[in-house]
């Protein structure tokens, strides 16, 4: 057995065990009601949600993807998607932080050794959080990995620098993408406070401001073989891993859209003024406003249905991960991602348009919906979703398989 450092399981948190899908949704709704009231102020002050993340993890919702064989609930993809959307509607920064965690649980499911599965699934069920340190700094090519895991006379050592490390600051484990001595891609699960690992809170994006998606630096970090996961095996044979990651990103955008439309309803009903030419006394009676709102609501409902359809394809492909089912799931997720991206951006922009001048005042911080949507949706270029769907529909071309944490 590959021993971990003695401090690896120290101060282990405790978490509720989620029983089933219905329990997960009930807990998510309760947490969302707690998180929503402070979301605007956390964004305004860039107050990082440490207490909220602790509560979120202790709720058991970070263990939703753990297989039943290891004591987890292994909820449906639709339930995990809706949990993510519910939390993201309340605060999309909090909703995004565990996205990487769930994907890393899925990576352990797919390519972890039995020993790694036993250990890390138990960690997830206990409420311990996995962060993210995948994207390289200092290179224009996202596929170039400069971070290295090397064998030395003193054991395995990790060196490198990562950016956009969402979740790392809040994590117990920071999985770092690296190349080993054979040039193979690996994920190295490093303890958050391991000697030589530094997590810098230098994220300054104009949206998703409290995700703390900063920099991770590994300087001669000692690790054991148990901490090294074979990332290079994630897509051979075909797996749903990339589509799984994309579904959760899509759910975050869906939550942002719902939040923007909820604020739009309030502002048009209670605060906005009708245009002089409308001939009505209240903005909620303006016929052009009604037409625009109707369009947005229909598109939201369409996005929700596409998200549900994509989740169903992922459930099928998880149980029968052949090339055809994986491709169908990937295309279905791409279609959902198009719809959720567009409605998140348009609903958050229309909120300001229809809310009127008052809605632009900094005291209301309504621009956070658009800032969050625009920042988060840059993660996965929409133009390539259209390309993937079109190429598959016309030519039967399967989309490329890759990770998208």
pLDDT tens digits for range 345-378: 999 999 999 999 999 999 999 999 999 999 999 9
**261 and 221, same domain (yes or no):** no
Mean pLDDT of 30-41: 98
**145 and 201, same domain (yes or no):** yes
DSSP for 80-130 reads HHHHHHHHHHH-HHHHHHHHHHHHHHHHHHHH--HHHHHHHHHHHHTT--B
Q: Count CB neighbours of 318 within 10 A.
A: 21
Question: Which comes out higher in pLDDT, residue 137 or 89?
Answer: 89
Among the candidates 73, 98, 125, a domain finishes at: 125
CATH number at residue 363: 1.20.140.10
Count: domains in the chain? 3
The pair of three-digit structure tokens given for residue 206, joined into one six-digit string: 């104009």
Residue 1 lies in a domain: no
**275 and 318, same domain (yes or no):** yes
Residue 332 lies in a domain: yes
**262 and 343, same domain (yes or no):** yes
Residue 15 lies in a domain: no
Quote the pLDDT of residue 7.
Answer: 41
CA distance 72 to 20: 9
**275 and 384, same domain (yes or no):** yes
Quote the pLDDT of residue 326.
Answer: 94
**225 and 357, same domain (yes or no):** no
CA distance 171 to 168: 5
Quote the pLDDT of residue 43.
Answer: 98
3-state class (DSSP) for residue 353: helix
**95 and 148, same domain (yes or no):** no
**33 and 50, same domain (yes or no):** yes
CA distance 88 to 377: 13
Report in angstroms the alpha-carbon separations of 36 from 30, 40, 58. Answer: 10, 8, 18
Quote the pLDDT of residue 404.
Answer: 59
CATH number at residue 97: 1.10.540.10
**313 and 272, same domain (yes or no):** yes
Mean pLDDT of 27-45: 98
3-state per-residue secondary structure call for 253-298: HHHHHHHHHHHHHHHHHHCCCCCHHHCCCCHHHCHHHHHHHHHHHH
**Contact present, 65 and 74 (Cβ < 8 Å):** yes
Residue 10 has pLDDT above 50, yes or no: no
Quote the pLDDT of residue 6.
Answer: 42
Quote the pLDDT of residue 319.
Answer: 82
Residue 362 lies in a domain: yes
**288 and 390, same domain (yes or no):** yes
Please report how many Cα atoms fall inside a 13 Å half-sphere around the Cα of residue 43, on the Cβ side: 26
Please report how many Cα atoms fall inside a 13 Å half-sphere around the Cα of residue 174, on the Cβ side: 36
Residue 13 lies in a domain: no
Quote the pLDDT of residue 353.
Answer: 97
Asked whether the bond before 237 is cis by omega within 30 degrees of 0, the reply is yes
Residue 201 lies in a domain: yes
Among the candidates 174, 209, 233, a domain finishes at: 233
Quote the pLDDT of residue 153.
Answer: 96
**199 and 245, same domain (yes or no):** no
Residue 264 lies in a domain: yes
- The length of the chain in residues reads 405
**206 and 332, same domain (yes or no):** no
Residues 6+ apart with CB under 8 A from 3: 224, 226
CA distance 190 to 231: 15
Host domain of residue 312: 241-395
Quote the pLDDT of residue 400.
Answer: 86
Among the candidates 198, 233, 268, a domain finishes at: 233
Instruction: Give 192-251 pLDDT, tens digit per residue.
Output: 999 999 999 999 999 999 999 999 999 999 999 999 999 999 988 889 999 999 999 999
Instruction: Give 112-160 pLDDT, tens digit per residue.
Output: 999 999 999 999 999 999 999 999 876 656 567 899 999 999 999 999 9
Q: What's the pLDDT band for 1 if we cut at 50, 70, 90?
A: very low
Quote the pLDDT of residue 154.
Answer: 95
In this prediction the pTM is 0.95
Quote the pLDDT of residue 143.
Answer: 62
CATH number at residue 183: 2.40.110.10
Residue 405 has pLDDT above 60, yes or no: no
Mean pLDDT of 70-87: 98
């Amino acid at each position: 057995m590959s021993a971990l450092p003695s401090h690896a399981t120290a101060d282990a948190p405790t978490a509720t065990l989620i029983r089933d899908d219905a329990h997960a949704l009930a807990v998510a709704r309760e947490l969302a009601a707690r998180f929503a009231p402070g979301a605007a102020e956390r964004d305004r002050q860039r107050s990082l949600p440490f207490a909220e993340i602790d509560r979120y993890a202790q709720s058991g919702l970070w263990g939703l993807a753990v297989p039943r064989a290891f004591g987890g609930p292994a909820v449906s993809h639709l339930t995990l998607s809706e949990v993510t959307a519910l939390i993201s509607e309340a605060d999309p920064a909090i909703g995004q932080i565990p996205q990487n965690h769930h994907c890393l649980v899925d990576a352990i499911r797919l390519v972890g050794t039995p020993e790694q599965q036993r250990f890390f699934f138990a960690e997830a069920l206990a409420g311990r959080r996995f962060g993210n340190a995948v994207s390289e700094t200092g290179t224009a090519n996202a596929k170039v990995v400069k971070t290295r895991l090397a064998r030395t006379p003193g054991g395995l050592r990790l060196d490198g620098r990562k950016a956009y490390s969402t979740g790392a600051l809040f994590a117990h484990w920071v999985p770092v993408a690296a190349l080993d001595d054979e040039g193979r891609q690996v994920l190295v699960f490093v303890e958050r406070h391991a000697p030589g690992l530094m997590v810098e809170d230098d994220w300054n994006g104009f949206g998703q401001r409290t995700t703390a998606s900063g920099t991770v630096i590994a300087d001669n970090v000692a690790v054991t073989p148990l901490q090294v996961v074979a990332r290079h095996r994630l897509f051979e044979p075909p797996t749903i891993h990339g589509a799984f990651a994309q579904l959760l990103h899509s759910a975050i955008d869906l939550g942002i859209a719902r939040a923007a439309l909820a604020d739009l309803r309030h502002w048009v009903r209670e605060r906005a003024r009708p245009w002089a030419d409308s001939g009505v006394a209240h903005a909620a009676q303006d016929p052009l406003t009604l037409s625009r709102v109707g369009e947005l609501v229909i598109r939201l409902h369409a996005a929700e249905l596409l998200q549900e359809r994509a989740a169903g394809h992922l459930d099928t492909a998880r149980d029968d991960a052949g090339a055809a089912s994986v491709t169908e799931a990937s295309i279905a997720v791409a279609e959902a991602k198009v719809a959720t991206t567009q409605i998140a951006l348009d609903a958050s922009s229309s909120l300001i348009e229809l809310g009127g001048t008052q809605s632009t005042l900094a005291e209301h911080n309504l621009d956070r919906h658009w800032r969050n949507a625009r920042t988060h949706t840059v993660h996965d270029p929409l133009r390539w979703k259209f390309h993937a769907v079109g190429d598959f529909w016309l030519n039967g071309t399967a989309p490329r398989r890759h990770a998208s944490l």
